[in-house]
Amino acid sequence: MPGKSRVIMLVDMESFYAGVEKSRHPEYRERPLAVVGEPSVPSSAVLAACAIAKRHGVRTGERLSSALAKCPDLVAIRPRMGEYIEISALIAGILEAYTDLVEPYSIDEMFMDVTGSLRLHGGSPEELARLVQSRIAVETGVRARFGIGANKIQAKLACDLVAKRTENGIIRIHTKKDWETLIWPEPIRHMWGVGSRMEKHLLALRILSIGELARTPVTKLKKRWGVNGEVLWRVANGMDDSPVSPWTEREQKQIGTTITLPRLYREAGEIETVLLELCTEIGRRARRMKRMGDSLSVGAGGEGGYRRSEGFHRRGILPDPSDITAELYREALRLFRDGWDGMPVKRLHLSLGGLLSSDVYQPSLFEDRERQRLLDRAMDEIKDRFGETAIVRGHSLTKAARAQDRADKIGGHYK
């Protein structure tokens, strides 16, 4: 199969909306739960169902009245799309800690290309997937599934068709034989790109499985459907040359990072120290990508989860697009001080949005921005050559600081 040297993962958040709600409502952890458009309207559609509800036969898209007939004890919750978008951004930030090549496919699915960064983290693709899976679970309460392959099609079908049946939710397509064994037996309707109408056409040709489609001469398919016929044939054979590209229209153009603190931080100075470290990390990643952002978001949560009553989220527009650590920290401080109510903090999130090229930027008549940029770049070069903690700010030598600990760990685990 072509492209064997690449290692691509599709990360799919299992029953995403329902998973977020169960994380927010621990009292429902062992109960069947569904996110429903309007719980007070029996004809309203089920948007997502948890694993327990699915075992009772509840399915996405069906009416609430039908779901309740199958599962009278079903807990129906109204969706909170702003929350789901926010958690999706948090998860994107987690993935971006391992590679800059993260491409959102939907709110709950993201591709990541770890070909170039795998060696930095050590271990196999499966081990890296377990690390990322664990971090997503700890920081958001959502369970993620992973399909791993040599390209996006392999990763997508492995995740959709096989990972959900594995105990740990992780599956890798490593060889052509893996593809033929795991994917080809699946009914043709399960293949990406095959809708109900196309399924009828293929069944009329006595093409019942993905394997039968893969073995059909591509000339026959092209004669019937033109270029679309070749696309179907390539999907069935696990062929895909498209790159994992962060710069697509459907991407939320931002760089994010989240930290779970080792204890409850109660003092403003302690929290602000960690904020400075997060700004340093975000700024460095932006400069590496040659991007600046025009907005900054800061979020915090208590011990029970990211979004509890004592948590907050604030977003601000920067005076000018920036990748300068000092400017990001200045805005982060303003947002934090505006939103924090003095309650203990266990988790912090920071994201830089509205990314654009840093090749052209607005100089300031009143601030020496170029000097600050040169200082940041000099620190970046030292870190690149000698490690993340070769040079740190004085705040990172205090007990509250987490820079050294983050440098020593991958996904919350020591190297």
Task: Please tell me whether residues 274 and 351 are part of one structural domain.
Answer: yes
Q: Is the pLDDT of residue 304 over 60?
A: no
Q: Could you tell me if residue 319 is left (phi over 0), alpha (psi between -120 and 50 degrees) or otherwise beta?
A: alpha
Q: Which has more confidence, 190 or 359?
A: 190
Q: Flag whether 107 is in a domain.
A: no
274 with 265: CB under 8 angstroms? yes
Q: How many domains does the chain have?
A: 3
Secondary structure string (H, E, C) spanning the chain: CCCCCCCEEEEEECCHHHHHHHHHCHHHCCCCEEEECCCCCCCCEEEEECHHHHHCCCCCCCEHHHHHHHCCCCEEECCCHHHHHHHHHHHHHHHCCCCCCEEEEECCEEEEECCCCHHHHCCCHHHHHHHHHHHHHHHHCCCEEEEEECCHHHHHHHHHHCHHHCCCCEEECCCHHHHHHHCCCCEHHHCCCCCHHHHHHHHHCCCCEHHHHHHCCHHHHHHHHCHHHHHHHHHHCCCCCCCCCCCCCCCCCEEEEEEEEEEEECCHHHHHHHHHHHHHHHHHHHHHHCEEEEEEEEEEECCCCCCCCCCEEEEEEEEEEECCHHHHHHHHHHHHHHHCCCCCEEEEEEEEECCEECCCCCCCCCCCHHHHHHHHHHHHHHHHHHCCCCCCCHHHHCCCCCHHHHHHEECCEEC
Handedness of CA 385, 388, 390, 393 (dihedral sign): positive
129 with 146: CB under 8 angstroms? yes
325 with 376: CB under 8 angstroms? yes
In the three-class reduction of DSSP (H, G, I as helix; E, B as strand; rest coil), residue 343 is classed as: coil
296 with 354: CB under 8 angstroms? no
Task: Please tell me whether residues 67 and 22 are part of one structural domain.
Answer: yes
Range of the domain at 207: 184-236
Task: Please tell me whether residues 227 and 293 are part of one structural domain.
Answer: no
What is the average per-residue pLDDT within 295-317? 73
Percent of the chain topping pLDDT 70:
86
Task: Please tell me whether residues 355 and 318 are part of one structural domain.
Answer: yes
Task: Please tell me whether residues 220 and 352 are part of one structural domain.
Answer: no
Tokens of 237: 């054979």
What is the average per-residue pLDDT within 272-296? 90
325 vs 315: CA distance, rounded Å: 17
Exposed / middle / buried, residue 412 (Cβ in 10 Å: 0-12, 13-18, 19+)? middle
Per-residue pLDDT band for 372 (boundaries 50, 70, 90) equals: confident
Tell me the residue ranges of DSSP E strands in 302-392. Answer: 312-322, 345-353, 356-357
Q: Which has more confidence, 391 or 120?
A: 120
β-pair type (75-77, 33-36) = parallel
pLDDT in the model for residue 414: 32
Task: Please tell me whether residues 261 and 337 are part of one structural domain.
Answer: yes
Q: Flag whether 121 is in a domain.
A: no
378 vs 219: CA distance, rounded Å: 57
218 with 229: CB under 8 angstroms? yes
| pLDDT, tens only, 139-182 | 888 999 999 999 999 999 999 999 988 989 999 999 999 999 99
Q: Give how far Cα 186 sits from Cα of 14, 160, 171, 248, 370, Å.
A: 21, 11, 16, 31, 58
- Residue type at position 213: L
187 vs 207: CA distance, rounded Å: 9
What is the average per-residue pLDDT within 393-399? 58
Task: Please tell me whether residues 259 and 231 are part of one structural domain.
Answer: no
Its pTM stands at: 0.60
Please name which of 115, 98, 44, 111 lies closest in space to residue 76, comparing C-alpha atoms.
44
Q: Which residues pair with 393 in a beta bridge?
A: none
pLDDT in the model for residue 388: 62
Residue 82: Cβ within 10 Å count: 9
Q: What's the CATH code of the domain at 63?
A: 3.40.1170.60
CA gyration radius for the chain?
23
pLDDT in the model for residue 208: 95
Per-residue pLDDT band for 309 (boundaries 50, 70, 90) equals: very low
Task: Please tell me whether residues 336 and 262 are part of one structural domain.
Answer: yes
pLDDT in the model for residue 387: 65
Query: Angle 171-177-183 (CA atoms, 0-180°, nearest 5)?
Result: 55
Q: Flag whether 25 is in a domain.
A: yes
Q: What residues act catalytically?
A: 109
- Residue type at position 156: K
For residue 47, the surrounding DSSP H or E stretch is strand 46-49
Task: Please tell me whether residues 301 and 388 are part of one structural domain.
Answer: yes
Handedness of CA 237, 242, 244, 248 (dihedral sign): negative
Q: Flag whether 10 is in a domain.
A: no
Task: Please tell me whether residues 284 and 396 are part of one structural domain.
Answer: yes
Q: Flag whether 139 is in a domain.
A: no
Q: What's the CATH code of the domain at 190?
A: 1.10.150.20
Task: Please tell me whether residues 374 and 270 are part of one structural domain.
Answer: yes
What is the average per-residue pLDDT within 110-126? 87
What is the average per-residue pLDDT within 257-279? 88
| pLDDT, tens only, 42-81 | 888 899 999 999 999 999 889 999 999 999 999 999 888 8
